[in-house]
Structure 1
Amino acid sequence: MSEIMDHSKQIDGQQRTGTGPDAGADTDTDKGTLSRRKFLTAIGGLGAVVATGGLLFNNPQLASAKKNSENSINTENVIYLNSVADIQTLDLSTLTDGQQFSVRCFHPNTTIGGGIFYLNKTRAKSAHNGGTIVSTTVPWNGTVAGLPGFLNGTGETNPTGSGCLVRLYGERITSHMFGARGNSTDDDTTAIQAAINVGIPLYFPEGTYLLKLSQSITLAGGPTVCSLIARDKMNLLGAGIGKTIFKLKDNESTDSSPKYFNIIAGNTVINNLYVEGITFDVNGANNKISPNRSSGSYYAFNCAGIFISGTVATSGSDARLYNSKITNCEFINSPGVTCIATGQQESPGVISNNVEISFCRFYNNGIDSSDHSSVYMWGDSINVHDCVFDHPTVSTGIAGPVVAAELHGSENFFTNNIVNNYAQGVWISGNQKTPSRGISVTGNSFTVSWFGVGLFSINPIGLGTSDVLIGNNRIYIIAGEILNPGMGFPKTAVFLNMQDGGGDRMTVTGNQLYCTDRSSNIAVLVSAAAGGYMRDTLISDNLVNGFCRGICVGLGALGSAYNTTIKSNTICNLQRTTNLPATVGIHVSGTQGGVILSSNDIGGGTGTTDQGIFIGGATGALEFLHFEGNRVDASASSSIEDSIIVTGRRSGEQALTFTALPAQSTWKKGDSVTLASPIQAGTAPNKYMIVGWQRITNGTANVLNTDWLERRVLTGN
């Protein structure tokens, strides 16, 4: 647009300074100059041009026109051309600078891609791009086959010369202005890339734009191919989901030649990317990547719609997105790992920041792979909201999607999304640069066959995760076979396990957790491997329905969970499974830190509560235990089993209630405990009730009348 405005200022300047035959007058002249009135008239018609990709005019009035050639008519003010191919018929020596041209279409015998041009005799021919700047000496015969050469300026007969036609346009240009046809037949790759390279916001009218994997690019994982290469400030607007379609051509990747590929790829720092209203159809059914699938072997190739990846070592920069938005788009039929990646690096590097992905649809992805994460959120302040992630059948973890999103960074949000028939909802993880903090997964609906929300921490991304909120989600664990050998852990709605590094301040609250699967399952797990830990975890006000095991801490893990609070949860309709014939509402075992259990309600529904609360295990030990106000259904086979050693202090009525003299834990002089079922002793008239014991020594010994004295209450009979 700067080219146009510069020209406009030049003309306005001539009128103000008295140059030209009609100095000071805003009137048209017959000298060929573009007056302000003509310029504004031309600009005024651009709305229709942008909306349709062509000109909305009837045949020009030819009564007084002089016909100069077969394809051009010179009226008093405007030269009309049938197509962009006819620009090569012009003889600039006979024309005046500023002459207007009205071009009906881009390709001969079509109705799209035309527009209004003006002649700039000083414009270098080397600026030719075939769409907004056209040199009259770049040959093109109007064929689709010859279009790539024309757009690239191939065959320019006067490369150091000047004289071009410059297109007038509004805030956006259309893909049709660079020869894209969107007819689901012709290859539009070169035309779209040429339009992107101009750097002007680009509109794609309704149509199916076929793309080839014709470009090479080196990403973090190595050399690969793509259809289009992203650039800084790339701005793409389509007519809407299902209306503007970028579709990969058939057999770009085959069993005989499987490719690691993406539709749009970038390996640089990209600011202000904006994409809206486009369907990205990777056409995975006709672009296979796993030739050995019949033997159960699948490749994990990236096959994304938009993929940003690269490091200083691979591409010269840490590739990433800044201040970018992808909205109202659709990503379908990917055979491989990813649909959108905001960045990907195989070593520590600067990561993306401030990216929004909203109101998008992801459907039928990961269909020829052993792994698939629809959105790879590599960066900070990435917000994925109001999207739908769907698959036509329940995913087994192979040849179907694994996880909707991976959150690798700080202040990342996954909010108000719907995930259906995936194996997993989200992974919360780190990156190789910094710990991850301030992550929110809220208001989502997950219908999944393996995990709902989970922590993922392995070297080299185990730098720590903290301040995580998992709240107000609906998580449905459904029946479905898991075939991926890497997904052998029991089905779990909320998986809070740190393999490496630390997990601090996790809050799981207000969620509705349902399970209809009858294999091994867990509603919420808090644990850590030997190389990790969990600290300050809050699990509160959740509804747990249909699981075999409700809320578990430890469960055989070698690491520790410090200061875990489990309160005000409702755990109901516990269901036995084929692998676990006994149900348990709350389970705490292993060497852990302190645990608070309060006001939980366990039991009810059509299920069976075999054990309400278990706190113990052969190696069980806690630093402190606060245990009170928990209700277990009266029908439970075992209401509460508390056999754990507490090295610090116990508090709360249920933590201080035993069925016999305490045989474990550390005590201090003055501690008082209660006997669960008081015993009447003595003889009339001096009978008494033994209601508990009073501690008279410090330590771990538990000898009656040495460390403990009975607390007795006279009955009076």
Structure 2
Amino acid sequence: MQLLQNGKQQFIDSGGLPLANGSVGFYAPGTLNPVPTYQDLAGTILNTNPITLDSRGQAIVWGTGTYRQIVKDASGVTIWDQVVQSADAGFLAFEAALADTTTVGNGDALVGVKQPYTGATPTTQHQKNSERVSVFDFFSAAQIADVLAGTWSVDVTAAVQAAINATAAAGKRLFVPGGTYKIVPATAMTDEAGSNLAALLMASNMYIDAEPGAIFKIANGVSTDANPIRMSMFFSNQVLSNITFRGLTMDMNGANNTISPQRASLIYNRFTQAHIIFSGTPGGVAARGENVTVMNCSLLNTAGVSSIVMCQSNSANVTISKNWVLFNNLFKNNGLDTDDHSSVFSWCDTVYAAGNFFTADTMQGTVGHTGGQVAMELAGPNQRFIGNRVHNYFQGNWIAPNYTVDTTNVVVANNVYNLIKFCAVDIYRIVASSTNIHGILITGNTVYFDDTVSGPLVEPQLKTPFQCATDYAVRDIRITNNYAEKVGTGRPSAFMNLATTNVGPGLGKHTHIEISGNRAVGFTMGVNVNTNTSNGLGEVTIKNNTFVDFNPSGGFLATGVSSAGPAIVDLLDITGNSFIETRPSYQFQYGINLSGAITLLHVDGNTYNNLTAADYYEQAGIVIATRKGRFNKLGFTPTWYSNSAISLGNGTAAGSYSINEKAVTYEAVLNVGSSTTFPGGVLAVSVPINAGSDTVGITFMGEFIIKHGGNGYVGTAFIAGNTNLTYLQPNGTGLATNVAPVALAAGDQINVQVTYNI
């Protein structure tokens, strides 16, 4: 409790007596400007100013604050002139300081915070407030209300930009409350394509931390058929670093910001309308972002060619972006009005993209040529695309070059590609001046295909999970431990398509390609190897794969491994594979079906089950310089000699051979016809493969039988080392001729079997 003030104030004179009939005036300090006082606490009854005191020198005076008080006696003589204040003046001053939002040290700086943790440093509310900055701190009340109501009618772009600038400069996170924000691109910028109308300019140390339901959505009609433009939500043509986007939904509103007025004629503009883009080379320095994270965001509905562009420059040897993380983001319904949409364009050194989902409501090409062409282009070194999902895109990934540094040490692993129109992972190098591609690992992925085709776009000939059919040479590619499944027989398909093109002799020779440990079910072909007149292939290894239940389709045979083409494959290693047919009605035709030219062919340890045509087959005209491994029952047509080549006439010659590493076992048969003619002399027959150069001085022996008129004449068949002919020596006599040990006639047969080394 407190003592109550007197109901009246009493003023006294200099002698200490009541100042009867004196006066008291109240003014603003330092002036004679009257300030009102009151006769009641409520402040409804004004005093006169000055106030005339009663006979006891008393008056009722209510007031608040600080006053200049002039007291006079009844004769008008000044008793005193002082500055006085009400009892609550100190509180009012504090209250004013607490409400002060501009003066350093006032406002929330006057409020202490009781820390809940032992040992925590004492602080103020001002310090606590500065730890969290909301974009609403920069908004008007009307803007906040519009965002929270979701009416999306008030432009907030300038306020968001102010918030970005302030928090980036201070190194603070910018929190974005839930709601729908109307974003209007209005800042004309220069990018690599020429111009870009930007909504928000990024800054180094920018950290956007959005709460659930926070949506930045581009306004309607920024780009129209009448005036299609390049634009962006977040843009920079500078070198920036340390940028984070977290939890934000970015909606480019592509349905209402079109770019291709001639879409009805299937003519499309390839304009950028990116959610996040670094583009341009001002002063010869490529725009780029270093240490950039995009996580838990949704990037929706762009009409243009990209959602994220990490670096875009047409200049050679510029420094590209570095250290990006894309984690757990949703890319949905992008490329709405273009035929060339890559959701992520990663000219970047070191990228980690994991847990993202690239999807669309409909397959690419359902509406004209539009939709997702590529989920992510991996175009730089040290990139990881791991544990992502891709759905309804034309293809999943391009592994591509740039103009600065090789694309190497790239891993594509443990992703799921579902209902891909053409290809899951395509290695793509079509410009001679681009950097090299090498050191690529594609492993642990799952790919699902069906016969889906969509729209008027001319479809690719083969649906293929993995392809290396690019123009210029790539090397050191490993495709291992993946699973792929194709449903339906209406579209031809190949698990791996490996081919060269006619870019110039030797420029497109891919080498050190390994396809191993994969399982493919329901395709037309397993590994399809092709060369052309300009470029062959180097070393190709196909091992330990399992190919199951293949189907012929579109004129292609159901084949596990096939090769074709006029140029040479230096090494084709086909080992440890399984070719399996499990269905009651067999459709799988060939395990291995080879043609073309091969310098060294190694086939070994393959298994075959229920194939309808042949386990292993070589097309007529194939040229194989050296074979190694194990080959069973290969066919060949032997040449028979009697001093010189025999004329078969209506006779026949046939042969088969098997190879077990360096050992060749072959059988040759001659059926003598009525018009078969013999020049006369020692009989001999050609071998399927010349004996090895290290066999000089060695004689390999087998056996033969001549069937004549119901009788059989047997003996030793032998090959002198380092020759290509087998001679016949009947038991107990010299070399066989066309007349010894018996004169050969129509209906006779000679059968030879020999094992030798190559």
TM-score with structure 1 setting the length: 0.71
**1:641 equivalenced with 2:665 (yes/no):** no
Question: Which stretch shows the higher mean deviation, 395-404 or 358-367?
Answer: 395-404
Contact 2:225 2:261 (8 Å CA) reproduced: yes
Question: Structure 2 residue aligned with 1:430, among 392, 401, 425?
Answer: 401
**1:303 equivalenced with 2:273 (yes/no):** yes
Tell me which residue corresponds to 2:290.
322
Q: Which runs of 5+ in 2 are unaligned?
A: 1-62, 67-89, 111-122, 640-653, 656-660, 671-703, 729-750
SS in 1 for 2:165: helix
**1:498 equivalenced with 2:473 (yes/no):** no
Contact 1:432 1:460 (8 Å CA) reproduced: no
1:482-537 superposed Cα distances (whole Å, 9 cap, x missing partner): 5575863422110012312x211111111111122522322101222233121111
**1:79 equivalenced with 2:96 (yes/no):** yes
Tell me which residue corresponds to 1:697.
722
Tell me which residue corresponds to 2:562.
587
One-letter amino acid of the counterpart of residue 100, structure 1: G
**1:550 equivalenced with 2:506 (yes/no):** no
SS in 2 for 1:335: coil
CA 1:325–1:262 in structure 2 vs 1: closer, same or farther (change >3 Å)?
same
Tell me which residue corresponds to 2:55.
none
CA distance in structure 1 between the aligned counterparts of 2:509 and 2:300, rounded to whole angstroms: 38
Tell me which residue corresponds to 1:291.
261
SS in 2 for 1:79: helix
Tell me which residue corresponds to 2:350.
381
1:160-185 superposed Cα distances (whole Å, 9 cap, x missing partner): xxxxxx99733331111111533422
1:602 to partner: Cα distance = 1.2
**1:608 equivalenced with 2:632 (yes/no):** no
CA distance in structure 2 between the aligned counterparts of 1:522 and 1:557, rounded to whole angstroms: 22
1:272 to partner: Cα distance = 0.7
Question: Which stretch shows the higher mean deviation, 387-396 or 552-561?
Answer: 552-561
Contact 1:450 1:482 (8 Å CA) reproduced: no
Question: Which stretch shows the higher mean deviation, 327-336 or 635-644?
Answer: 635-644
1:250-649 alignment to 2 at 5 Å?
Answer: 250-313=220-283, 317-348=285-316, 349-396=318-365, 398-447=369-418, 448-459=420-431, 462-481=434-453, 483=455, 488-500=460-472, 502-516=473-487, 518-531=490-503, 532-554=508-530, 556=532, 558-577=534-553, 579-580=554-555, 582-590=557-565, 591-606=568-583, 608-616=587-595, 620-643=596-619, 645=622, 648-649=625-626
CA 1:377–1:489 in structure 2 vs 1: closer, same or farther (change >3 Å)?
farther
Contact 1:689 1:712 (8 Å CA) reproduced: no
SS in 2 for 1:597: strand
Q: Provide the aligned C-alpha RMSD in A.
A: 3.5
Contact 2:98 2:107 (8 Å CA) reproduced: no
1:275-325 superposed Cα distances (whole Å, 9 cap, x missing partner): 100000111111111111111111111111111111145xx5211111121
Question: Structure 2 residue aligned with 1:654, among 622, 631, 634?
Answer: 631
CA distance in structure 1 between the aligned counterparts of 2:562 and 2:556, rounded to whole angstroms: 15
Count of paired positions: 558
1:609-666 superposed Cα distances (whole Å, 9 cap, x missing partner): 12221111xxx211201111222333422332124655642111118944554999xx
CA 1:289–1:596 in structure 2 vs 1: closer, same or farther (change >3 Å)?
same
CA distance in structure 2 between the aligned counterparts of 1:571 and 1:452, rounded to whole angstroms: 18
Tell me which residue corresponds to 2:84.
none
SS in 1 for 2:513: strand
SS in 2 for 1:270: strand
Question: Structure 2 residue aligned with 1:99, among 103, 106, 112?
Answer: 106
CA distance in structure 2 between the aligned counterparts of 1:225 and 1:440, rounded to whole angstroms: 35
CA distance in structure 1 between the aligned counterparts of 2:384 and 2:286, rounded to whole angstroms: 23
SS in 1 for 2:161: helix
Contact 1:367 1:400 (8 Å CA) reproduced: yes
Contact 1:211 1:227 (8 Å CA) reproduced: yes
CA distance in structure 1 between the aligned counterparts of 2:135 and 2:328, rounded to whole angstroms: 24
Tell me which residue corresponds to 1:158.
none
Question: Which stretch shows the higher mean deviation, 352-361 or 182-191?
Answer: 182-191
CA distance in structure 2 between the aligned counterparts of 1:362 and 1:689, rounded to whole angstroms: 77
One-letter amino acid of the counterpart of residue 599, structure 1: G
CA distance in structure 1 between the aligned counterparts of 2:615 and 2:423, rounded to whole angstroms: 29
Tell me which residue corresponds to 1:47.
none
CA distance in structure 2 between the aligned counterparts of 1:342 and 1:420, rounded to whole angstroms: 23
Tell me which residue corresponds to 1:234.
206
Contact 1:628 1:653 (8 Å CA) reproduced: yes
CA distance in structure 2 between the aligned counterparts of 1:509 and 1:272, rounded to whole angstroms: 36
1:244-292 superposed Cα distances (whole Å, 9 cap, x missing partner): 1110111111111111111111111111111100000111111111111
CA distance in structure 2 between the aligned counterparts of 1:634 and 1:264, rounded to whole angstroms: 59
CA 1:80–1:488 in structure 2 vs 1: closer, same or farther (change >3 Å)?
farther
1:155-304 alignment to 2 at 5 Å?
Answer: 169-179=129-139, 181=144, 182-183=147-148, 184-198=152-166, 199=168, 200-240=172-212, 243-304=213-274
CA 1:97–1:364 in structure 2 vs 1: closer, same or farther (change >3 Å)?
closer
One-letter amino acid of the counterpart of residue 464, structure 2: T
1:604 to partner: Cα distance = 1.1
CA 1:681–1:215 in structure 2 vs 1: closer, same or farther (change >3 Å)?
same
CA distance in structure 1 between the aligned counterparts of 2:487 and 2:315, rounded to whole angstroms: 41
CA 1:689–1:514 in structure 2 vs 1: closer, same or farther (change >3 Å)?
farther
1:79 to partner: Cα distance = 3.4
Q: Which runs of 5+ in 1 are unaligned?
A: 1-63, 68-72, 104-115, 119-165, 665-669
1:193-225 superposed Cα distances (whole Å, 9 cap, x missing partner): 111112232110111111001111111111110
CA distance in structure 1 between the aligned counterparts of 2:131 and 2:273, rounded to whole angstroms: 32
1:703 to partner: Cα distance = 5.4
1:681 to partner: Cα distance = 3.5
One-letter amino acid of the counterpart of residue 681, structure 1: I
Contact 1:443 1:473 (8 Å CA) reproduced: yes
Contact 2:109 2:127 (8 Å CA) reproduced: no
CA distance in structure 1 between the aligned counterparts of 2:479 and 2:626, rounded to whole angstroms: 26
One-letter amino acid of the counterpart of residue 335, structure 1: A
1:696 to partner: Cα distance = 3.6
Tell me which residue corresponds to 1:15.
none
CA distance in structure 1 between the aligned counterparts of 2:541 and 2:715, rounded to whole angstroms: 35
CA distance in structure 1 between the aligned counterparts of 2:306 and 2:64, rounded to whole angstroms: 58
CA distance in structure 2 between the aligned counterparts of 1:276 and 1:511, rounded to whole angstroms: 32
1:460 to partner: Cα distance = 5.3
One-letter amino acid of the counterpart of residue 160, structure 2: I
TM-score with structure 2 setting the length: 0.68
One-letter amino acid of the counterpart of residue 223, structure 1: S
CA distance in structure 2 between the aligned counterparts of 1:549 and 1:642, rounded to whole angstroms: 16
1:335 to partner: Cα distance = 1.0
Question: Which stretch shows the higher mean deviation, 369-378 or 173-182?
Answer: 173-182
One-letter amino acid of the counterpart of residue 284, structure 1: G
1:422 to partner: Cα distance = 0.8
CA distance in structure 2 between the aligned counterparts of 1:471 and 1:359, rounded to whole angstroms: 20
One-letter amino acid of the counterpart of residue 572, structure 2: V
